[in-house]
Amino acid sequence: MSRIETPQNMNLRTFLIMMLFPWTVIAAGEDAGGIEAKKERNHVRRIRPPVRRNIQKSSSEPIKEQVLPVKEILSVQTGMKAQRSKQENRSKSIPKENGRRVPEQKKEKIAPVQAAQEQRARPASRQPKAKEKSVSQDRMIAAFHRASEVSSWGNGVFTFHENTSKRNGILYVSTKHAIEPSYQILSEFSDGLALIEEKGKYGYINAEGKTVIAPVWESASPFENGKAYVEKRGKRYVLDANGHENSCAPWDTGYQFYEGLAAFQRGGLYGFLNEEGTTVIEPAWEKVGRFHDGRCPVMRARKWGYIDTNGNLIIPNEWDMTMEFSDGLGRICVNNRYGLIDAAGKVVAEPQYEFVSSFQQGLSIVAHNGKYGAVDRDGWEIIEVKYEFAAPFSEDLAAVESAGLRGFMNRKGELAIAAQWDDCYVFSEGLAGVCKESKWGFINTEGKVVIPAVYDQVMQFSGGYTCVRNENGWMIIDKEGNQII
């Protein structure tokens, strides 16, 4: 028969365990306490009942142990738990400094010190990953410097591709950081959003590179005037900048919105719908252009004309080609010669030019017999057709070529900046890129060199910054020529 442990034969080890861990069950023989004691132990979930102990001063006398009734057991356990919880809450609410409790008013002073001590004491493997992020940034910036291709998306946002590592990135000048996206940017930023493609799906990002409309669409168009076309599972929608979609009538292909209308194709013909997705011009045209100044080029039976926003044909289909209106005038073409027409269909400039540009600052660049000049909105040739080349006006100056060199003319056709450069860009934000002996720099509107021609390649300024390249790679500079990145 197994030996049963009783208060008379309890040893010192058992006593200490019971004092330190009163909830621990002390193993005993199967017959200990009998069947009724076993049931009671099961009722209290096999937790040893708390006991009252009468401990004599003399260690030679045995320790007396008394088992409490079940109801009193539960009451004692509840009281012990409440006491422990109260002590834990008190220790949490009162901060300690060097093992001592600290008055309430010193909490704010101690918190930063404790945080700094914990930071220093934390193992290296558990430190925040700020350093890893910095390393990643260094890698991305280095990839930008080595990039084989760089594009400007305006407002200090640049995309780049580095051939060696096949790394694509987006550089943000305002925050001086670069990211390596999992997506590919497909369009410039329009209405603050750019179209992206990721794993065969299309979505949109904002200027900070954050995905604001998830790439879940099977096809999509860039945003224009706050709207874009998207398609998923055979259903086509008009999407707004918040990602809300309007269901539309079925179409085969959708295009961007211009002046609140967007072309769509259905059954091989083109029509237009509004921003709510409602068809406002039924598909009836073989080809269409974009709405500008309330007019849109349309083609039927291989001849072009113009319709208004209600779909009315206001200029008959009698031209070989028509182009968008600008400044109230449209461009027409007959037998590869271009002219100008007004909104009522009246010909302003007869189709006699080899080239006619859209109007910029009230003037259109025209070319005749290989020479360039400009006409006004009345069709008058106010700048003689004499230059070897001319670009559209920007900031009241137009780049021209004379005797094989580039300069800039004013609105009177006079050379405001002498033709002395091998190549040049148009003016943007008061500066224009100019090239001499394969090196690029920048001049102001007075023709003064403000950034020396020391770069192999430059871009136009946008948002106060531009991207330039020299033997060390690509970099970002400001209008004073200071390197920013």
pLDDT digits (tens, 9 = 90+) for 437-473: 999 999 999 999 999 999 999 999 988 999 999 998 9
pLDDT at 70: 39
pTM of the model: 0.63
Q: Is residue 430 part of a domain?
A: no
Q: Is residue 63 part of a domain?
A: yes
Q: Is residue 176 part of a domain?
A: no
Domain hosting residue 343, numbered range: 326-421
| Per-residue tokens: 206 | 């904002």
Q: Is residue 73 part of a domain?
A: yes
Could you tell me where the DSSP H helices lie in 185-252?
none
Instruction: Give the residue among 471, 473, 435, 463 at the shortest CA–CA distance from 451.
Output: 435
Contact between residue 19 and residue 52 where contact means Cβ atoms under 8 Å apart: no
pLDDT digit string, tens, across residues 293-313: 999 999 999 999 999 999 999
- Looking up tokens 């979609």 gives 245
Final residue belonging to a domain, choices 421, 443, 463 = 421
pLDDT at 165: 63
Q: Is residue 4 part of a domain?
A: yes
Burial 191-201 (b: 16+ CB within 10 A, else e): eebbbbeeeeb
Contacts 24+ apart (CB under 8 A), 179-185: 179/140, 179/209, 180/136, 180/140, 181/205, 181/209, 183/211, 183/215, 185/153, 185/159
CA distance 387 to 413: 10
- Residue 270 burial (10 A CB sphere; 0-12, 13-18, 19+): buried
Q: Is residue 149 part of a domain?
A: no
Q: Is residue 404 part of a domain?
A: yes
pLDDT at 167: 62
Contact between residue 101 and residue 94 where contact means Cβ atoms under 8 Å apart: yes
pLDDT at 83: 52
Count the neighbouring beta carbons within 10 Å of the beta carbon of residue 337. Answer: 16
Query: Chunked in runs of 10, what are the mean pLDDT values of the chain (485 residues)?
Result: 46 56 45 42 41 42 42 44 51 49 47 45 36 56 84 80 72 79 78 87 85 90 83 82 73 73 88 85 94 94 95 95 92 95 93 93 93 93 94 94 94 94 95 96 96 95 91 92 91
pLDDT digit string, tens, across residues 310-330: 999 999 999 999 999 988 999
Final residue belonging to a domain, choices 64, 94, 124 = 94
Final residue belonging to a domain, choices 382, 405, 421 = 421
Contact between residue 456 and residue 463 where contact means Cβ atoms under 8 Å apart: no
pLDDT at 249: 55
Instruction: Give the residue among 180, 275, 284, 151 at the shortest CA–CA distance from 224.
Output: 275
Q: What is the 3-state secondary structure (H, E, C) of 255-281?
A: EEEECCEEEEEECCEEEEECCCCCEEE
* Counted domains in the chain: 2
Q: Is residue 64 part of a domain?
A: yes
pLDDT at 185: 78
